Copies of this chain bind each other. A is one copy, B any other.
Amino acid sequence: MNPGDRVRVERAGVTNEGVLMPSSTPDHLVVKLDGGYNVGIAREDADVDVLESDAHDVEAAQSESAESEIAFDEDLPTVSLISTGGTIASTVDYRTGAVTAQFDAEDVLRAVPDLAGRANYRGRVVTNILSENMTPAVWKELAEAVAEEIRAGADGVVVMHGTDTMQFSASALSYMLDTPVPIVFTGSQRSADRPSSDNVMNAVCAVEAAKADAAEVLVCMHASTSDDACALHRGTRVRKNHTSRRDAFETVGAEPLGRVEYDTETVEFRRDYAERGAVDLDVGLELNENVDLLKFTPGFDTERYAELLRSADLDGLVVEGTGLGHVHTDLIPVLEDLVDDGVVVAMTSQCLEGRVCDRVYDTGRDLLDAGVVEAGDTLPGTAKVKLMWALANRDDPAEAMRRSVAGELQERSVPWT
């Protein structure tokens, strides 16, 4: 029995006939039915008859499957799976021994037979890149693709994305889209060929979240090192806080918005969220990419950067300052010159937790006098994305940086919590 064979599989009283496809898990057979639908069948207790050996060209069947429509079950919601690449859509490249992204959305269905029966799926590939290569241009393509899927009737969208910059793309879509349905980013910290891979559970939980009620841009990844649940994080408050752990993603400064139990398939929310259908779909693709993020640390060469910043002709600058939002005193006049030239300069903190407050110390007060805007407790990376959006979409982008637009800034009057 090999991929390409025509087989008949009987299990638990159900018979499926079609072409055996490669499966990424030893526990499941994947059979491509004549209608083009890939079905995953548990190998245990399954009876397989090989009807014809090597009956089909698997590669052709796979490429065909990439364009095929999936059998529609009107009792199930429709979830669009959008692939952008990354580990969740990758296998080991035996040429280099490393992992490259090379799957499309239909392949994910094949790789994760557990997704079958949970929804009607629409598959779509926006790009196929490791997420360190994500750019604002791709965010726009992705936002457009998500919007098209929602217009086409998707009840929820799952975005498969590399984990390196998932939080930035999730932030970008949080600002670019008003959404009546959930948009759930998921990915994988360990590729499918590893026994500890998190790709199946994350994908399954993301689909369950896409069927649930929170019509927000969410990130769905392992909640702990166990395989029992995924956490649902608001796209603008989440951060990859570990290079390799499966539970690397954390909501900063708050509890995650919700949780998906893997076994029971229940989705719970712990805080208020935007409800499904509460807003109409709205898309704003404009971003001003002329924004930089500057991290200040001791030994910072003010002269070198003064030159860079003056010649860069920026429209926005996010500063990742120290503590409550500080930089060396020598840098303040440089920032003041930028503000005087019309650049929006927003202050965040490299502490990551807690809010910026520039009213406490001399340095901070000098920064405020220079026209630097406090971004509250907005994460530095989120602030960069937000500023790109605010410059292109708001009359007063500086004021926008002080207020929450997509849950990125928790309103509190007192910095001492």
Copies of this subunit: 2
Q: For this complex, into which size category does the number of interface residues on chain A fall?
A: 35 or more
One of A59-67, A325-333, A335-343 at the interface: A325-333
Contact pick for A312, options B293, B304, B326, B365, CB 8 Å: B304
In the complex, how many angstroms separate the beta carbon of A315 from the nearest chain B beta carbon?
Answer: 12
| Cα distance A243–B375 in the bound complex, in angstroms | 13
**How many angstroms between the C-alpha atoms of A357 and B308 in the bound complex?**
31
Closest B residue to A354 by beta carbon equals: B243
Given contacts A98-B362, A295-B320, contact A243 B132 (CB under 8 A): no
Q: Answer whether residue A164 sits at the interface, using C-beta atoms and an 8 A cutoff.
A: yes
Do residues B243 and A356 form an inter-chain contact, with CB atoms below 8 A? yes
A173 within 8 A of B: no
Does A135 interact with chain B (Cβ within 8 Å)?
A: yes
In angstroms, Cα B329 to Cα A131, docked, is: 10
- Closest B residue to A313 using CB positions: B304
Inter-subunit contact B295/A240 (CB<8 Å): no
Given A242-B353, A299-B289, check contact A363 B132 (CB 8 Å). yes
Contacts of A351 in B (CB 8 A): 240-243, 248
Distance between A220 CB and nearest chain B CB, rounded to angstroms: 18
A68 vs chain B, min Cβ distance (A): 30
A83 beta carbon closer than 8 Å to chain B: no
Per-residue B-contact encoding for A287-307, CB less than 8 Å = 1, 0 else: 001011101111101001000
| Contacts A323-B132, A327-B132; A98 near B308 (Cβ below 8 A) | no
B297–A354 touching, CB < 8 Å: no
The interface residues of chain B lying within 8 Å CB-to-CB of A2 are none
Q: Are B245 and A164 in contact (CB under 8 A)?
A: no
Nearest Cβ distance between residue A199 and chain B, in whole angstroms?
15
Indicate whether A299 sits within 8 Å of B388 (C-beta atoms), given known contacts A165-B322, A243-B353.
yes
Return A385 CB to nearest CB of chain B, in Å.
Answer: 8
Chain A residues at the B interface, C-beta cutoff of 8 Å? 93, 96, 98-100, 130-136, 162-165, 168-169, 190, 196, 240-245, 248, 289, 291-293, 295-299, 301, 304, 308, 312, 320-329, 349, 351-357, 359-365, 377, 381, 384-385, 388, 415-417
Task: Using A243-B349, A243-B415 as known contacts, list a sample of 16 further A-B pairs with CB atoms less than 8 Å apart, ordered by residue number in A.
Answer: A96-B362, A98-B362, A98-B365, A132-B321, A162-B323, A241-B352, A243-B323, A243-B325, A243-B357, A243-B377, A244-B354, A244-B357, A245-B354, A293-B297, A295-B320, A297-B381
Closest 7 CB pairs of A and B: A243-B354, A164-B323, A164-B322, A132-B326, A242-B353, A242-B354, A295-B295
